Amino acid sequence: MTTLETARAAAKALCERKGIDIKLIKITDISSIADYFVIATGSSTTHVKSLADNVEYRLDSLGVSCSHIEGYRSDSWILLDYVDVIVHVFSEEARDYYSLERLWQDGQLEDISDIEQLPLEDLFPKN
């Protein structure tokens, strides 16, 4: 699975649980910390945790293990580190405060408009 496929799968998992304003940003050319950021907002503490749980569950089912999780006990921001893909799930207030899209505005915003309609398995090319 490529890093783009992993990032798209994470975005799809967020979409499945009604993540708000999901963004996928390619940062390969501007940073060495990862290839992609996936960013989403949850409407409540429970929703933020549900979004993060679904990303972890869906990627694990595809054979992609999370390297590190931060903030799960917090009520505003959970970070899931998949080494080359970093998933950020925010509360509305935390997303506004940290404004990662502004900080990483030199990154390339990827088109993920197709992920809502497609089943997870159809996001990846057939070999």
Split at pLDDT 50, 70, 90, the class of 61 is: very high
Domain that holds residue 49: 3-112
Residue 127 domain flag:
no
- Domain total for the chain? 1
Residue 108 domain flag:
yes
- At 29-52, the pLDDT tens digits run 999 999 999 999 999 999 999 999
- At 110-123, the pLDDT tens digits run 999 998 877 776 66
The dihedral over CA atoms of 92, 96, 100, 101, expressed in degrees to the nearest 10, equals 100
Which CATH number covers residue 96?
3.30.460.10
What's residue 126's pLDDT?
53
- At 2-32, the pLDDT tens digits run 999 999 999 999 999 999 999 999 999 999 9
pTM, two decimals, is: 0.92
Residue 118 domain flag:
no
Residue 123 domain flag:
no
Residue 13 domain flag:
yes
What's residue 74's pLDDT?
86
Residue 120 domain flag:
no
Average pLDDT of span 41-68: 96
> 3-state SS string over the chain?
CCHHHHHHHHHHHHHHCCCEEEEEEECCCCCCCCCEEEEEEECCHHHHHHHHHHHHHHHHHCCCCCCEEECCCCCCEEEEECCCEEEEEEEHHHHHHHCHHHHCCCCEECCCCCCCCCCHHHHCCCC
